[in-house]
Structure 1
Amino acid sequence: MATDWRPRLVALDIDGTLLKWVTGPGGGSTHETVPAAVLASVQRAIDAGAHVVLASGRAPHGMTAVAEQLELRDPADPDERLWIVASNGSVLVRHPPMEIVHEETFDAAPAVHAILERHPDALVAIEERGVGYRVSAPFPDGELGGELIVTKLEDLVSAPVSRVIIRDPQATADDFVTMASELGLHGTDYVVGWTAWMDLAPVGVSKASGLQYVADRLGIDAADVLAIGDGRNDIEMLGWAGRGVAMGQAVQEVRDAADDVTGPVDEDGAALELDRWFG
């Protein structure tokens, strides 16, 4: 990488990269927050002319508030709407106001039924745009944002969708990794989270494909992108970007896909990496 290289686009994962959990006074309720150091480093990147794009597995309605908390804006025109890569690249958004500008969908029914044969008690969720999620049964508290609408399974997968979440609180992430490799899940791409949580998506769709869509419209090459993330759903993004950086707490599979590793989220690792280029 050239010594005078500086990112023109910064792609940032949210959970485990920008946000960390903070416990309230006296051991009170926990909440997510953007550390001051991370907010300041993001602002320096914008002030230097870089486009900052959030890329997350979250649904769009779970990302716009984070964009506002980070005070994201177009570096050349503060009135221009932001780009957001949501649902692991399946949904591309402009904000504000929130507008879905591109969406990839697929028939999830075969994969969902194959998984439920292995994990019959697993929970299934489909995004209900702007509201929350339609779910086969309630998810553990705090795992999904917005309203949860209990819906019959067959109704959940009766039409093409952009993303499906499968969650089994009785299983482990390793259980899901093994199951996915054995099933094959033909016609579907998948990613396993930190727990027994699996996102199903259309083949070829990832944060990387979503960011390529955005970069093309901004006239920016992948070689000029810095991407930072911590999860298995960041692997394609880290490999696609000119510089891909894994957070310090990432599993080895994610670290191996990256060009470098920064500090963990609890040590403001995203700020440490951004300050290399915009400090």
Structure 2
Amino acid sequence: MSAQRRLVALDIDGTLIGYDGGMSAAVHDAVAAVLEAGHHVVLASGRSLVAMTPVAELLGITTGWMVCSNGAVTVRLDPAAERGWELDQVVTFDPAPALRLLRTELPDARFAVEDVGVGFRMNALLPDGELEGEHQVVDFEQLWAREVTRVIIRDPERTPEEFSEMAARIGLVDVTYAVGWTAWMDVAPRGVTKASGLERLREQLGVDPAATVAVGDGRNDVDMLRWAGRGVAMGHADEVVRAAADEVTGTIDEDGAAAVLRSLLPR
């Protein structure tokens, strides 16, 4: 194994953290070992900043970088900073056109926009536990009072397949969108993905493209897996995600991420 320093991008939910919200000791220890070996470990998630910092703390990641909100927010972790982190880049867009269009198609859906480092404004509360931070219920029109990093659309009455069909049919323009495992959609600034945020970091850190590794399980990981020199899909990922990867590891229940991380250690 080469001693070259790598950039290791890790999705959180379904990759490091299981469906019960817990992280196995095998995954925790594997992340720690890769950090100790000197590699750049970058959490890259659709989660907001406030939902990612507890995961970084759990893993003992106090310095380095995180790519949050599917690439719209990049954070530098610094224990000397007042909150333990500093914003490095925040990419925003005007959500009004997408919100108006989507509400026409999904009049009963719940919509939320992110306030970075704080929480979310929403037209109705989402199911318990789905979003971290402060939740402020506002009139629908207030959701576009200012530019935002992303819009979340949640409709418990619909399926992910129905969301995907609707998004393709209405032709969302000037934005990037990803549909999750549930009836959940993230809408971000055009061209912004986990991959775009990671590429910017790769250039800043001076890591060779071939020395990049990414592990993920969801549709919002597809661009990241294609971007990486070694893109690894979790074993429970669907066919779209698997097709974007160079290889497939074990499932979350099999600690698939740990196996990938251990493969980066000196033998």
TM-score normalised to structure 1 length: 0.90
Which moved further from structure 2: 61-70 or 5-14?
5-14
Question: Aligned equivalents of 1:203 and 1:6: distance in 2?
Answer: 33
Question: Aligned equivalents of 1:180 and 1:21: distance in 2?
Answer: 26
Q: 1:191 aligns with which of 178, 181, 185?
A: 178
Residue aligning to 2:135? 148
Residue aligning to 2:44? 55
Residue aligning to 1:237? 224
Question: Aligned equivalents of 1:267 and 1:6: distance in 2?
Answer: 28
In structure 2, relative to structure 1, the CA distance for the partners of 1:219 and 1:6 (3 Å cut) is closer
Structure 1 letter corresponding to 2:10: L
What 5-or-longer segments of structure 2 have no aligned partner? Answer: 79-83
For 2:242, what is the secondary structure of its paired residue? helix
Q: 1:166 aligns with which of 153, 157, 166?
A: 153
Percent identical pairs in the alignment equals 52
Question: Aligned equivalents of 1:237 and 1:44: distance in 2?
Answer: 23
Structure 2 letter corresponding to 1:83: W
Runs (4+) of structure 1 exceeding 2 A deviation are 3-7, 128-131
Residue aligning to 2:18? 20
Alpha carbons 2:115, 2:148 under 8 Å: kept: no
Question: Aligned equivalents of 1:158 and 1:204: distance in 2?
Answer: 22
Alpha carbons 2:176, 2:187 under 8 Å: kept: yes
For residue 147 of structure 1, report the CA deviation from its aligned partner.
2.2
What 5-or-longer segments of structure 1 have no aligned partner? Answer: 23-31, 74-80
For residue 239 of structure 1, report the CA deviation from its aligned partner.
0.1
Residue aligning to 1:34? 23
Residue aligning to 2:164? 177
Residue aligning to 2:86? 99
For residue 47 of structure 1, report the CA deviation from its aligned partner.
1.7
For residue 7 of structure 1, report the CA deviation from its aligned partner.
6.2
Question: Aligned equivalents of 1:277 and 1:213: distance in 2?
Answer: 22
Structure 1 letter corresponding to 2:64: L
Question: Aligned equivalents of 2:209 and 2:155: distance in 1?
Answer: 36
Q: 1:200 aligns with which of 172, 187, 194?
A: 187
Indicate yes or no: 2:45 matched with 1:45: no
For 1:148, what is the secondary structure of its paired residue? strand
Alpha carbons 1:188, 1:200 under 8 Å: kept: yes
Question: Aligned equivalents of 1:130 and 1:242: distance in 2?
Answer: 31
TM-superposition CA deviations, 1:136-181 (whole Å, max 9, x none):
1010111111221101111111321111101111101000100111
> How many aligned residue pairs are there?
261
Structure 2 letter corresponding to 1:16: G
